[in-house]
């Protein structure tokens, strides 16, 4: 059973504090919107789908607390909360998508009473959570088709249960292939600076009894050079209309290395990660993280004081390096500018 | 003035403990061969040329201590010490080269008295140290030709004064270009797992007043994608007769990324780094490091207990990815199987 990284319990959000893994498995009980915003910003909850769910639950938190009687005030509160939460992390489209889905739901029921709208919003957030569970399973089923017995799969960052409501995206594909009885082995990039691969992917894979070898990001090239990688599968935080995909920093390098070694490079992400309003990767805003995450990340300072650091949280892989985009609606192949739209469910 | 990372003082080796940088600048006073071996293994002294010097000084340490009168015992001690030190790190040819130079010197003076041989060995070690200083300067002069005003240079690992007797190899090129009045900016890969780029390259560059930006290894691709890198220059621990070059893990990925972005990728190393007895990179032994350097490197455990880790200390860049090899005898261009030999000094 995969861990449940985030869920709604009674009147609060219950989530694993991912910054404490793998050392400690601590659940946070979040009742305040500011605490939630901090948790998103500092990556206590992370992974594009999980952030979307966190955003939706945040709307529920604030709406449940609303004690006024003015519908205008209620909708102003919704608007404010949406803007506030959306600003926590700029790159992942899932956050905007989930918040927008909540907002639209509210807008569509403006004639209802505040209490009715509160109930509808809560139900919608639970639906987003439940939908993500189904999406993960369906995406993983499609993705498992590309995994053959004996495959060595390279992963970057964490894309498992911790990043979603259920099974994960790229890692869900691995879990499903494993459950199908295929022998698989994973090379997990540690994923600097915050080591989601080292801390989280290895933890999830070992938990499921899947053979995993941790490598530094700079070692991916060597294992490819030694013909020890059959494919790479990573997640995505936003996919542009032309197929360019933003994902955790370092993904682009993995894609280039795959290209050089003729190794297929796949993206696995919910269909909602595709942002048709973003024409190409150039338009995707890239969050820059604090230098401290690089120079002072794990208990000890590892660069001189005042060292200048460039630390983007994400990079953009151009569509021509992507073999396929694995979604819950199927595996989408190039040309993406034509095919991405074809996979929409009506 | 560059720092002096290693030198012979009176009856001992004085060296900077590089594992303590950039936090503390501590000098070790080494009088025991076992302490020296530990210092090499644990990278208190590192950088291929500096390791070679450390090895030569190690021979001096043991020979100075020799109190017997039997020449057979003296040469047996030399043989034993050479084998012992050579085993500390298998990849860098400089260690073997320096030890072999010491051994040959001894062998060539077997007719002399033990005291005379002791004096000759000490002088030879000082010559190796002094030669490396000259080599660094000459190599840097040649290398600076490829650096134009306004250049952005990508570096990997540390290749400066800390890695050599004087000015460094790849970083020496940067220092010289800077001294020539060229405006340069360096992107320093942090270089996991031991962060020689973050801890040492930034420290040396900032010390010299050169503009440097620290990046995670996985960010090199992005700065290249943004056209912010004009060339990459790295060191080497061993260069095969066909031009394949072993260097710090991650170098191969940098070379592939350079190829993809049409960025010239240079190696800078003393001519003695070329090992004509090694036909190609496939024959170069690659040291594997302890998993702990990856999983427990910064003062806090960052992967689950018992995580399997693949952590080679070096990788091999095939010659076809190398634009030129900068040596004290000039910049050697392909075809390396022919041209490497041409640059030998008679």
> CA-CA distance, B338 to B243, in Å (whole number)?
10
Report the pLDDT averaged over residues A97-124.
97
- pLDDT of A3 reads 84
Q: Nearest-CA residue of chain B relative to A248?
A: B218
How does DSSP classify residue B273?
A: G
Tokens representing B51 are 């390791």
Q: Which residues of A touch B301 (CB under 8 A)?
A: 22-23
Burial profile B1-16: b = 16 or more Cβ within 10 angstroms, e = fewer: ebebbbbbeeebbbbb
Residue-wise pLDDT for A115-125, tens only, equals 999 999 999 99
Residue-wise pLDDT for B135-144, tens only, equals 999 999 999 9
Three-state DSSP at B212 gives strand
Statement: residue A346 has pLDDT above 70: no
| CB-based contact A249 B199, cutoff 8 Å | no
Residue-wise pLDDT for A273-319, tens only, equals 999 999 999 999 999 999 999 999 877 899 999 999 999 999 999 99
Residue-wise pLDDT for B26-60, tens only, equals 999 999 999 999 999 999 999 999 999 999 999 99
Name the catalytic one among B237, B244, B275, B315.
B237
Consecutive H or E run containing A98: helix A93-107
Q: Which residues contact A28 (CB under 8 A, 6 or more apart)?
A: A13, A14, A15, A16, A17, A35, A39, A44
Q: How confident is the model at residue A163 (pLDDT cuts 50, 70, 90)?
A: very high
Global pTM exceeds 0.80: yes
- pLDDT of A1 reads 67
Consecutive H or E run containing A127: helix A114-144
Tokens representing A221 are 């090239």
Report the pLDDT averaged over residues A197-214.
96
* Cα torsion through B91, B96, B97, B103, rounded to 10: 180
Residue B179, φ and ψ in degrees, nearest 5: -65, -25
Pick the closest to residue B54 from B105, B111, B12 (CA basis): B12
- pLDDT of B1 reads 66
pLDDT above 90 coverage of chain A, percent: 95
Asked if the C-beta of B226 comes within 8 angstroms of chain A's C-beta atoms, the answer is no
Tokens representing A132 are 């993500």
- pLDDT of A22 reads 93
Alpha-carbon distances of B322 from A134, A262, B140, B298, B319, rounded to whole Å: 49, 20, 18, 33, 5
Minimal Cα–Cα distance from B48 to chain A, Å?
20
Residues 99 through 128 of chain A touching chain B, CB cutoff 8 Å: none
In chain A, the domains with their CATH numbers are 6-137 (1.20.120.420), 146-342 (3.40.50.10470)
Whether A237 is a known active-site residue: answer yes
Query: Mutating which of A200, A212, A219 best tests the B interface, going by the most B Cβ atoms within 10 A?
Result: A219
Mean pLDDT for chain A? 96
Task: Check whether the bond before A335 is cis (ω within 30° of 0).
Answer: yes
Radius of gyration of chain A (CA): 20
**C-alpha atoms less than 13 angstroms from C-alpha of A298 in its C-beta half-sphere:** 23
> CA-CA distance, B303 to A195, in Å (whole number)?
9
- Cα dihedral sign for B99, B104, B105, B111? positive
Tokens representing B197 are 């780029």
- pLDDT of A165 reads 86
Residues 21 through 50 of chain B touching chain A, CB cutoff 8 Å: 22-23
> CA-CA distance, B150 to B134, in Å (whole number)?
27
Pick the closest to residue B103 from B48, B67, B132, B62 (CA basis): B62
Consecutive H or E run containing B27: strand B27-30
Residue-wise pLDDT for A6-48, tens only, equals 999 999 999 999 999 999 999 999 999 999 999 999 999 999 9
| CB-based contact B307 A252, cutoff 8 Å | no
> CA-CA distance, A44 to A199, in Å (whole number)?
13
Q: Which residue stretches of chain B have pLDDT < 70?
A: 1, 346
> CA-CA distance, B88 to B109, in Å (whole number)?
27
Statement: residue A108 has pLDDT above 90: yes
């Amino acid at each position: 059973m995969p861990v449940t990284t985030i869920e709604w319990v009674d009147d609060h959000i219950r989530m694993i504090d991912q910054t404490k893994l793998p050392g400690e498995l601590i659940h946070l009980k979040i009742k305040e919107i500011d605490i939630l915003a901090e948790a998103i910003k500092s990556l206590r909850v992370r992974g594009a789908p999980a952030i979307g769910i966190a955003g939706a639950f945040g709307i529920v938190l604030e709406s449940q607390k609303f004690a006024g009687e003015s519908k205008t005030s209620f909708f102003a509160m919704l608007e404010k909360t949406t803007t506030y939460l959306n600003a926590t992390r700029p790159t992942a489209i899932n956050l905007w998508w989930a918040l927008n889905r909540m907002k639209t739901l509210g807008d569509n029921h403006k004639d209802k009473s505040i209490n009715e709208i509160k109930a509808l919003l809560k139900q919608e957030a639970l639906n987003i959570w439940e939908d993500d569970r189904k999406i993960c399973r369906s995406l993983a089923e499609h993705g498992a088709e590309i995994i053959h017995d004996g495959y060595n799969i390279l992963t970057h960052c964490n894309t498992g249960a911790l990043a979603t409501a259920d099974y994960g995206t790229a890692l869900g594909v691995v879990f499903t292939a494993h459950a199908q009885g295929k022998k698989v082995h994973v090379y997990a990039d540690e994923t600097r600076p915050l080591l989601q691969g080292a801390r989280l992917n290895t933890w999830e894979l070992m938990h499921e009894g899947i053979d995993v070898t941790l490598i530094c990001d700079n070692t991916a090239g060597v294992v490819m050079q030694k013909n020890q990688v059959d494919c790479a599968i990573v997640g995505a935080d936003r996919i542009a209309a032309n197929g360019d995909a933003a994902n955790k920093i370092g993904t682009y390098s993995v894609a280039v290395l795959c290209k050089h070694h003729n190794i297929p490079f796949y993206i696995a992400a919910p269909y909602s990660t595709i942002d048709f309003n973003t024409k190409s990767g150039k338009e995707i805003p890239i969050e820059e993280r604090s230098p401290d995450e690089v120079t002072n990340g794990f208990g000890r300072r590892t660069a001189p004081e005042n060292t200048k650091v460039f630390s983007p949280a994400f990079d953009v892989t151009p569509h021509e390096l992507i073999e396929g985009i694995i979604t819950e609606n199927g595996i989408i192949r190039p040309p993406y500018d034509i095919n991405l739209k074809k996979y929409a469910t009506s």
